[in-house]
């Protein structure tokens, strides 16, 4: 079943919504390792066109038995970083 929702209102407006799942990468600068912190942000179109939301419960999946030589993933945090500019309001995840 596709993740699409369409609703036509009696007065003629149409609501079209689609759910997308993304697999993303984040370039990292490890010059200050192990005393660094990496922050990955995802920006998109204005909130009139797209709103990013973290999945509830388990928003980030990490491969089991992840092995990165000389690196340890200690924890991760999720947050919103929405912003307003002269060109509009933008949805943002970090």
- Residue 4: C-alpha distances to residues 1, 18, 20, 28, 54 (Å): 9, 4, 9, 34, 18
Residue 84 has pLDDT above 80, yes or no: yes
Mean pLDDT across 25-35? 81
Tell which wins on pLDDT, 78 or 18.
Answer: 78
pLDDT at 10 over 90: yes
Q: What is the pLDDT of residues 40-73, one digit of tens each?
A: 877 777 898 888 888 888 888 787 887 778 777 7
Q: Is the pLDDT of residue 32 over 80?
A: yes
Rounded to 5°, angle at Cα 72 from 66 and 73: 70
Please determine, for residue 1, whether its predicted confidence score (pLDDT) is greater than 70. Answer: no
């Amino acid at each position: 079943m596709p993740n699409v929702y369409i609703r036509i209102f009696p007065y003629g407006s149409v609501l079209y919504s689609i759910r997308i799942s993304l697999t993303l990468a984040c370039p990292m600068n490890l010059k200050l390792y192990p005393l660094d912190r990496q922050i990955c942000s995802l920006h998109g179109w204005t909130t009139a066109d797209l709103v990013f939301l973290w999945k509830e419960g388990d928003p980030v999946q990490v491969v089991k038995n992840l092995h990165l030589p000389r690196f340890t993933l200690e924890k991760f945090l999720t947050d919103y970083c929405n912003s307003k500019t002269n060109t509009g309001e933008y949805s943002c995840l970090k």
